[in-house]
């Protein structure tokens, strides 16, 4: 799915969740799982990325969008599992700090189920050794949007055009690279859904 | 490289199906309450349910976020303050706070015109975590609808609000 329509969808769902909460109705928190066409995105600290940088990245054939999430520049594309949880945070735990940790824990559990030992670091995101396997970038104090991107069989060459999340001297990796065998989003998804339900203590209802 | 990717895109048929979440157990408890130690020294602070405070001196209100908010956000890494001269209505989005990879909107507790912003905090966002009621003030504005203050919570009211929402 292209980035902008996905973002529009998130905003619509977030508005609905917010309205539900205000009216005292069931919040209907939602988890969106999808895959993007190649796109580079930046967070609110957009001045680090000039029009020249934008043009250079667009010349690779990817889209480029400046967003309202936290975090710096990253890449999304085929082979990367994207999860956008649109939650009314207070229904779970009111802190963004807690939410970031909960998402990181979810990914670590997911990877454990696949036989990969991953960890967190002061840099946020989920790491395997010195390489980042999953990036996080969020928005919203009350209802959350944006989320995470977990590299399954992403073409990691795309990341060579940027300093991912503004962290130099560190690399990127994927489930495929770590397991040394092709692993697709469909194979990772069930582990992710199970981990998410466990960490966020919720039931998943599929529509 | 482009040609390889095009063939990948042609086989991409992943559909977006939103998944609903139903909570099965209650939320985790969080940080202890914080009691203000500057009560009675400055003009009294008023609070909103979005965990912002405003301290009024004459027609000028100084605005910040509460200790509860800064703890919940985590380490602040970037602050986007409103521009001096901009006018806002009560509860309008007027800035952004970025912490630990998450960007959160800042809302103004009262309507007014921005007169001053705390530039020190733009260079040192950690001040917001260290001293959210003093050095970590965010911006000042000239109130256009002072009666809005009557609708906000005082210190005791805000403490009650935090207690009630713990459950």
Please give the share of chain A, as a percent, with pLDDT higher than 70: 100
Instruction: Find the mean pLDDT for residues A61-72.
Output: 92
Residues annotated within a binding site of A: 69-76, 135-137, 147-149
A109 in helix, strand or coil? Answer: helix
Cβ-nearest to B20 among A38, A96, A205: A205
pLDDT in tens, A97-133: 889 999 999 999 999 999 999 999 888 799 999 999 9
B10 touches chain A (CB under 8 A): no
For domain A3-200, give the CATH superfamily: Bira Bifunctional Protein; Domain 2 (3.30.930.10)
Please give the share of chain A, as a percent, with pLDDT higher than 90: 71
Q: Which of A133, A143, A43 is closest to A85 using CA atoms?
A: A143
pLDDT-derived band at A49 (thresholds 50, 70, 90) equals: confident
Secondary-structure breakdown of chain B: helix, strand, coil percentages, each rounded to the nearest 5:
25, 30, 45
Cβ-nearest to A68 among B4, B19, B103: B103
> Measured on CA atoms in the order B100, A57, A149, A142, is the torsion positive or negative?
positive
Measured CA angle at B90 (ends B89, B92), to 5 deg = 70
Asked if B101 lies within 8 A of A206 by C-beta distance, the reply is no
Mean pLDDT of chain B: 81
pLDDT-derived band at B25 (thresholds 50, 70, 90) equals: low
Asked if B30 lies within 8 A of A95 by C-beta distance, the reply is yes
DSSP secondary structure letter of residue B83: P
A106 touches chain B (CB under 8 A): no
CATH, residue B115:
2.40.50.100
Residue of B nearest to A123 (CA): B100
Asked if A139 lies within 8 A of B103 by C-beta distance, the reply is yes
Q: Tell me whether residue B112 is in a domain.
A: yes
Q: Tell me whether residue B5 is in a domain.
A: no
pLDDT in tens, B137-161: 999 999 999 999 999 999 999 999 9
pLDDT-derived band at B15 (thresholds 50, 70, 90) equals: low
Q: Tell me whether residue B48 is in a domain.
A: yes
Q: Which of B104, B122, B139 is closest to A44 using CA atoms?
A: B104
**What's the confidence (pLDDT) of residue A103?**
95
| Active site residue ranges of A | 165
Q: Which of B113, B128, B112 is closest to B80 using CA atoms?
A: B128
Plot region of A79 (φ>0 → left; ψ -120 to 50 → alpha; else → beta): left
Asked if B21 lies within 8 A of A45 by C-beta distance, the reply is no
Contacting residues of A for B18, CB less than 8 Å apart: 13, 30-32, 207
**What's the confidence (pLDDT) of residue B164?**
85
Instruction: Find the mean pLDDT for residues B83-91.
Output: 94
**What's the confidence (pLDDT) of residue A157?**
94
Asked if B21 lies within 8 A of A13 by C-beta distance, the reply is no
Least confident of A117-126, A192-201, B25-34: B25-34
Q: Tell me whether residue B117 is in a domain.
A: yes
Q: Tell me whether residue B122 is in a domain.
A: yes
**What's the confidence (pLDDT) of residue A144?**
93
Asked if A96 lies within 8 A of B102 by C-beta distance, the reply is yes
**What's the confidence (pLDDT) of residue B44?**
82
Q: How far apart are alpha carbons A31 and A33 in whole angstroms?
A: 6
Instruction: Find the mean pLDDT for residues A16-27.
Output: 88
Instruction: Find the mean pLDDT for residues B65-89.
Output: 92
A30 touches chain B (CB under 8 A): yes
pLDDT(B7) > 70:
no
pLDDT(A22) > 70:
yes
pLDDT(B12) > 70:
no
A129 touches chain B (CB under 8 A): no
Q: Tell me whether residue B46 is in a domain.
A: yes
The Cβ-side half-sphere exposure at A198, using a 13 Å CA radius, reads 14
Residues annotated within a binding site of A for substrate: 69-76, 135-137, 147-149
Contact B49, B91 (CB under 8 A): no
pLDDT(B8) > 90:
no
Task: State whether ipTM is beyond 0.85.
Answer: no
Contact A10, B18 (CB under 8 A): no
Residue range of the domain that includes B143:
42-166
Contact A86, A30 (CB under 8 A): yes
Q: Tell me whether residue B33 is in a domain.
A: no
**What's the confidence (pLDDT) of residue B43?**
56
Of A94, A104, A157, which to mutate for an interface test with B (greatest number of B Cβ within 10 Å)?
Answer: A94
Number of domains comprising chain B: 1
What are the structure tokens assigned to A165, written together?
């999340």
A120 touches chain B (CB under 8 A): no
- Residues 158-177 (A) with a CB less than 8 A from some CB of B: none
What are the structure tokens assigned to B39, written together?
């009560």
pLDDT-derived band at A91 (thresholds 50, 70, 90) equals: confident
**What's the confidence (pLDDT) of residue A97?**
85
Cβ-nearest to A200 among B20, B21, B103: B21
Spacing of C-alpha A200 from chain mean position: 16
Contact A3, A68 (CB under 8 A): no
Give the distance between the most distant pair of CA atoms in chain A. Answer: 50
pLDDT(B33) > 70:
no
Contacting residues of B for A127, CB less than 8 Å apart: none
Q: Tell me whether residue B69 is in a domain.
A: yes
């Amino acid at each position: 799915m292209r980035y902008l329509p996905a973002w529009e969808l998130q905003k619509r769902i977030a508005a609905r969740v917010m309205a539900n909460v205000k009216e005292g109705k069931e919040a209907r928190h939602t988890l969106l799982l999808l895959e993007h066409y190649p796109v580079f995105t930046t967070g609110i600290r957009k001045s680090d990325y000039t029009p020249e940088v934008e043009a250079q990245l667009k010349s690779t054939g990817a889209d480029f969008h400046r967003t309202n999430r936290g975090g710096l520049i990253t890449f999304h594309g085929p082979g990367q599992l994207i999860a956008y949880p649109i939650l009314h945070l207070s229904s779970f735990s009111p802190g963004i700090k807690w939410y970031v940790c909960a998402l990181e824990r979810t990914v670590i559990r997911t990877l454990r189920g696949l036989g990969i030992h991953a960890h967190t670091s002061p840099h946020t995101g989920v790491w395997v050794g010195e390489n980042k396997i999953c990036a996080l970038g969020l928005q919203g104090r009350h209802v959350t949007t944006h989320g995470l991107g977990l590299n399954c069989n992403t073409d990691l060459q795309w990341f060579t055009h940027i300093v991912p999340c503004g962290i130099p001297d560190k690399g990127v990796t994927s489930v495929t690279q770590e397991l040394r065998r092709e692993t697709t989003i469909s194979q990772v998804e069930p582990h992710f859904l199970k981990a998410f339900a466990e960490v966020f203590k919720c039931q998943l209802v599929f529509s | 490289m482009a040609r390889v990717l095009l063939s990948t895109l042609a086989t991409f048929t992943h559909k977006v199906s939103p998944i609903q979440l139903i909570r099965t157990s209650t939320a985790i408890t969080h940080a202890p309450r914080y009691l203000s130690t500057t009560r009675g020294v400055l003009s009294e602070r008023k609070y909103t349910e979005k965990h912002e405070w405003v301290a009024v001196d004459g027609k000028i209100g100084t605005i910040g976020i509460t200790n509860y908010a800064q703890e919940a956000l985590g380490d602040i890494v970037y602050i986007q303050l409103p521009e001096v001269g901009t006018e806002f209505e009560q509860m309008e989005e007027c800035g952004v706070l970025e912490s630990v990879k998450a960007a959160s909107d800042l809302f103004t507790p009262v309507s007014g015109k921005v007169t001053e912003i705390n530039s020190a905090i733009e260079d040192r966002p950690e001040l917001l975590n260290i001293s959210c009621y003093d050095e970590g003030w965010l911006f000042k504005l000239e109130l256009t609808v002072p009666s809005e203050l009557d609708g906000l919570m005082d210190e005791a009211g805000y403490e009650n609000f935090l207690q009630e929402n713990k459950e």
